[in-house]
Copies of this chain bind each other. A is one copy, B any other.
Amino acid sequence: MNTHKCKDCLLKSAAALNLNDSEFEILEGNSVQVNFKKGEIIIKQNAMSLNVAYLRTGIVKLHLQGPSREKILRIVKAPAYIGIPTTFGDKINRFSVTALEEATVCFIDSTLFRNFIYTNGKFAYEILVELCRNELIDYQRSASQAQKQITGLVAETLLCMSDNIYESDNFNFPLTRSEMGDLIGASRESVSRVLTDFSNEKIIEIHSNGISLLKKDLLKQISDKG
């Protein structure tokens, strides 16, 4: 099996920080680290969910098949758990997870994970807090989705990628126009039009390496107004 020492991992989750030495040893015997290339599927919708996936490095998209096409639920950057809801919320995976760039993922046996929850209250608490935070983010995005027009949603997405994923005003943009449409609920043509308008108005700059945000304050205004 693997030779990594979970205890020595520098990318532990807030929950894992609460594990003791013996728990780490058990973890090592019941988990496996896998590397994924861009575009590879990490978790597959409709497959059975028998383990918990922890994204150590990289960026992924959570997505599912909607009524008429793919729906991207959220973009997640490491380090973070990426499948807890679908592992403990149902018996089969209700969504897929796909790598947007090279990623490393630790798969943890779900029975072991459940035992950590049963026996390590602080571990359980940190997992619960993360689930709660995610739910609040979902609620906020649900309101945006319902009430903003496409221009506001594109602006919000660019700001989110800049502030929360890349933490930079210049970044690679891992999504195609079609995928961005899947994320915000618009057609790829509408997304393209807005990005081109932003580029023509020098609000952003689109280059082969990605995107630069030139007028973040204006983007914020556009996002807030919807």
A: number of interface residues (CB 8 Å) = 52
Q: Which of A22-30, A36-44, A88-96 contacts B (4 or more CB under 8 A)?
A: A88-96
Proximity string of chain A (107-132) to chain B, C-beta cutoff 8 Å, 1 when within and 0 when not: 00000001001111110110111011
Contact across chains for A143 and B88 when beta carbons are under 8 A apart: no
The main secondary structure of chain A at its interface with chain B is: helix
> Which of B121, B133, B138 touches A90 (beta carbons < 8 Å)?
B133
Contact among B73, B131, B140 with A132 in the assembled complex (CB-CB below 8 Å): B131
Q: Which residues does chain B contribute within 8 Å of A139, judged by CB atoms?
A: 62, 64, 73, 85, 94-95, 138
Given contacts A66-B147, A89-B136, A147-B66, contact A71 B131 (CB under 8 A): no
Selected contact of A71 from candidates B147, B185, B225, CB within 8 Å: B147
Interface centre among A125, A140, A146 (most CB of B within 10 A): A146
Interface residues of A in 16-60 (CB under 8 A from B): none
Distance, CA A124 to CA B119, complexed state (A): 10
B89 pairs with A132, CB closer than 8 A: yes
A121 to B134, CA, bound (A): 22
Tell me which of B94, B114, B141, B147 contacts A125 (CB under 8 A).
B114
Which residues of the partner chain B approach A129 to less than 8 Å between Cβ atoms?
88-89
Residues of B within 8 A of A69 (CB): 147
